[in-house]
Chains A and B, each alone.
Chain A
Amino acid sequence: MRAFARAFGFVLLAFASVASAQVTSDRLLNASKEPQNWLTYNGDYAGRRFSSLEQINAGNVPQLIPKWAYQTMAGGKFETTPLVVDGILYGTGQDDRAFALDAHTGRPIWQYQRNLPDDIRPCCGRVNRGFAMLGDRLFMGTLDAHVVALDAKTGNVLWDTPAIEYTKGYSFTLAPLVIKNLVLVGVSGGEYGIRGFIDAYDPATGERKWRFYTIPAPGEPGSSSWEGDSWKIGGSPAWITGTYDPETNTTFWTTGNPSPSNRGIGRSGDNLYSNSLLALDPDTGKLKWYFQFTRHDEHDYDATQIPVMVNDGDRKVILQANRNGFFYLIDRTTGKLLHADSYAKVSWSKEKDASGAPVPAKDASPTPEGNRVCPGAAGATNWMSPTYDPQTKLFYVTAREQCDVFSTAPQPYNAGHAYYGSAYFPNEDAAPFYGALRALDPDTGKIKWEWKHPSPTWSGVLSTAGGLVFTGDAEGNFIALDAATGKALWHFQCGASVYSAPMTYAINGKQYVAVAAGSTLFTFGLP
């Protein structure tokens, strides 16, 4: 009896300390009004990765200390941006692990490990970038190309929907995006000759509501941009989370390289909608307009960088620092290019067309013996999230300065096998390689300041109302910089490279900053 009473008392306490974590569509629309939480992959629908929390600021950030760490104990790249909802942190890890933690103490509430088949096809690591949430359900895409709903309180699997056959090279790595009553995901697999798509699922049942193929079938608009049957295996994955404009009910998604990535022979044409920005109706998946960044790409310049929505007076734009080395400003009502300026070393394009869009140079194609082109295959940036700070009005992006030698070779398509048609490697003449966090003025594309990294990093960026920008480096440092000047104000050595984007939240009025590095999720706060 006493034991029962003690257990019962514990249960009561537990209930008292955890708020009901119900994420509604309305909360998602107004996510920036509850900065203590981080409700979506990017923190808000606009993809700004900016927080109005200001308790940790340029004055006190030198005092920042680690508060707790959580280890997934899995190898490989830990790319998650966790969600925090009413005191609970929800993250995903390598090998499709997932976890819910008390965001105040780091203590696990539940853990999930997907039982993955041996023959999955992850191109670039057994990675996952995070959850989306609606109600008390969490949604993740898996490396065996399923979409899964987990119960937020227990981690129990509520539904598990296979999207497509993983054996043909399909997988999911991105954090899904919830819009109204739909869960949106985009597929990975540009290294295998897939046909890319973006899907929407019913959060209650897991039933697929629509699919938008990122490569049109014969007869559909854009289909003439492919040679012969090359469209069937033309790649164009959509492996980074989109953004959403409720005013026009438009969701913006970006797509990756055409396949084979480094061989244009056999797929002549622009290869729509590879390397593009897509404006979709989230209710139906219908295409409103598109803008293609790199036409007939032969250098693996996926456009899978977050399309960040910014309002500047009456001007409603999308900002994107593209993997191809150009920073694009696009009118998000019409899809019209406003300007494109290089923000890193570029040699693949030497001129622009009448619209101002960079066009590929003929002599930049990969050759059998190798052709040095900048940026290299990993790009002037990659999937790492940038941030837009409405206070400084600057766009911060992780840049990579690296050129590669691109070679090409014919390669037969074999379902589920690598389909690059090429190789690449760093050019010795290009040494030393380095990375930089660059603060760009969106109006001009000019670099306001840069923080130079000793080697290129895969860390994303967070900006806060505390006048700070947070990022990580390949050498394992997590760094806070002055958003206005780029001066480093604080750093912490995490012990392994940062392959994620930081986020911030607050509990009981105390602000925290979290970042994944190595196999550890670190959380920092003021003493």
Chain B
Amino acid sequence: MAKLGEYEFRANCAFCHGLGARGGGRGPDLTRTPKKHGDSDQEMFTTISNGVPGTAMPPNGATQQGVGMTEAEIWQVVTYIRSVEHKPVEMAGNSLRGRQLFFGSAACSTCHMFKGQGGRLGPDLTAAGTARSLEYLTDSIRNPSRRLAQGLGEAMKEFTVEYETVNVVTTDGTKLQGTLLNEDSFTIQFLDTRELVHSFDKTALKSWEKSRLSLMPGYDEKTLPEKDLQDILTFMVNRLQAPGGAQ
């Protein structure tokens, strides 16, 4: 049953959720528990059947890529996901201290929001602790340029925008730097380091360039000792309320 589910998973789910359900660019790591959109078998079945409105998760059979699964096949996939799940992670760090670091000296909140508080230059991290593997999160902190986070996905586009770095020079010589919000052949939209939204006609700029070198500094062990990292990860996984924030 789990083996059949694995084949169905590969054909229908792995495009976003990766081989082994370990998560891809677009889809969360499904070996994690509990699941964000309901953790019972029936809830998982419903999530797969109906998708998750407002997210990239489509209803079964509506991906325009594959052909969809029968109910029996969806149950096989549920069984498969159960077979690769890890037990809920017992995080060893200190959540409270992690929260203090996130909003304090580690300065994560300068660019990242958590439950409505923080900056805007990087992705909102409210759900990241349960959607991404610890390896992925660790790598994103230690080597932020290795794998850029995905941003805006348009309904009919195959690929989402990534958090690339944008440098432009306007005709009056003003230099702006920020992260990419969106782009097409003729225009570019980005948020600059002062959190101002810009949308330019590319031909109206003196110059523009995109870079896959993330604006986020790489946090090596000197900048962020292992213990601090574990505390921040524990905070992200346990999803403590932000200080003063509404739950």
Residues of chain A touching chain B, judged by Cβ–Cβ distance below 8 Å, are 76-77, 121-125, 191-192, 369-370, 405, 407, 409-411, 417-418, 420, 422-426, 428, 431-433, 452-456, 473-477, 479, 488, 491, 493, 496-497, 499, 518
Contacts and interface: CB of A to CB of B under 8 A. Distances in A.
Interface in B178-225: 183-186, 212
B185 A124 contact: no
- Pick the 6 closest A-B CB pairs, nearest first: A423-B10, A475-B184, A497-B156, A418-B67, A409-B7, A125-B64
Interface stretch (B18-26, B35-43, B235-243): B18-26
A425 B185 contact: no
A516 to B, nearest CB: 12
A454 B185 contact: yes
Contact of A418 (B11, B154, B158): B11
A265 to B, nearest CB: 14
Contacts of A453: 185
B156 A407 contact: no
6 contacts: A124-B65, A191-B67, A409-B10, A456-B158, A474-B158, A499-B156
Of listed B69, B154, B156, B184, residue having the most chain A CB within 10 A: B156
B156 A474 contact: yes
Given A473-B184, A477-B184, A518 B156 contact: yes
Contacts of B156: 77, 474, 496-497, 499, 518
Given A77-B64, A473-B184, A475-B184, A410 B19 contact: no
Contacts of B183: 454, 475
A262 to B, nearest CB: 9
B70 interface: yes
Contacts of B154: 475-476, 496-497
Contact of B159 (A425, A433, A491): A433
B67 A407 contact: no
A192 B70 CA distance: 14
Contact of A420 (B11, B16, B18, B68): B11
Contacts of B7: 409-411
A425 B9 CA distance: 12
B15 interface: yes
B147 A428 contact: yes
B157 interface: yes
B14 interface: yes
Nearest to B184: A475
Contacts of A456: 158-159
Q: Dominant SS at the A interface?
A: loop
A493 B189 CA distance: 15
Interface in B61-100: 64-70, 73
A519 to B, nearest CB: 10
Contact of A425 (B6, B15, B69, B147): B15
B157 A475 contact: yes
B246 interface: no
Nearest to A517: B156
A191 B15 CA distance: 16
A123 B67 contact: yes
A422 B16 CA distance: 15
Nearest to A369: B19
Contacts of B18: 425
B148 to A, nearest CB: 8
A428 B6 contact: no
Contacts of A76: 64
B70 A417 contact: yes
A474 B157 contact: yes
Of listed A423, A454, A491, A493, residue having the most chain B CB within 10 A: A423
Of listed A369, A405, A420, A454, residue having the most chain B CB within 10 A: A454
A424 B15 CA distance: 6
A254 to B, nearest CB: 22
Nearest to A260: B11
A432 B150 CA distance: 12
B104 to A, nearest CB: 33
Contacts of A452: 185
A476 B184 contact: yes
A423 B14 contact: yes
A420 B7 CA distance: 10
B200 to A, nearest CB: 15
B132 to A, nearest CB: 14
A76 B184 CA distance: 21
A49 to B, nearest CB: 22
Given A418-B66, A496-B156, 18 more contacts: A121-B67, A407-B14, A417-B67, A417-B73, A423-B10, A423-B15, A423-B19, A428-B147, A432-B162, A454-B184, A454-B185, A456-B158, A474-B157, A474-B159, A475-B157, A475-B185, A477-B185, A488-B185
